[in-house]
Amino acid sequence: MNDSRDYRYCELVFNYGDNGSDIYSTSPLNECSEEWWDDLDLEILADEFGAESVTKNGPQSWSMDEVIVMGSEPISVAGVDMVFGANLPPGTLETPQYEVFNPSKYQYLVWDAGKPVYELVDPEGNVYILQGYKVPKESLETLGDDFEELPDGWEYRTRVLEEELVMNLTPDEPIPSISDEFDQIYIQIPENNSSSAESS
């Protein structure tokens, strides 16, 4: 999906207990109407799909400029088509904020040169880039001022890419990810790519 930056989407997380959780997304098929999202009956969906529970994740918007997800054929969820996005190992949903978890997924992500990115940096210098944002877009630049639970030694920063950043994610390698207190997901940038941005 080209021109994905700021594209609105929603996800549903189907919890299958010891088999982990499957995430289905409306992206790139539709931008998740508020009426459909608000009217979803999660208990009915859990029963229909044989899940222990179903939770909502969103609405949110992509932070990158191109995203390709190797998912599934579309499935109809309450009359709206969604595609498979990722599998979470058992227990992932209980992972505390700012602690690493490793989803299993295929994603090809591109952030264009000259565009802003939003990152968390841990005390060891690992850089995590924001995947999808749930806060108002205009607040991303100064979001660091709004954190109340950011652990000691962590930093939130906004940077402008000097070069294109490409991440080709597969289940063959760990995909270290974290969530923040706004329930936004960040993906760790491999060390050899983390220097391709300059502070704005």
Give the per-residue SS3 of 40-73.
CCHHHHHHHHCCCEEEEEEEEEECCCEEEECCCC
pLDDT reported for residue 136 = 96
pLDDT reported for residue 193 = 62
Boundaries of every domain in the chain? 8-62+70-93, 98-199
Average pLDDT on 10-28 reads: 94
Lowest mean pLDDT among 59-73, 122-136, 163-177: 59-73
Query: In Å, what is the CA distance from 22 to each residue of 48, 51, 74, 115, 197?
Result: 14, 10, 14, 31, 33
Q: Which is more confidently placed, 103 or 194?
A: 103
Average pLDDT on 8-34 reads: 93
Average pLDDT on 129-158 reads: 96
Return the closest-CA partner of residue 165 out of 110, 84, 97, 93: 110
Q: Which residues pair with 60 in a beta bridge?
A: 9
Contact (Cβ atoms closer than 8 angstroms) between residue 55 and residue 12: yes
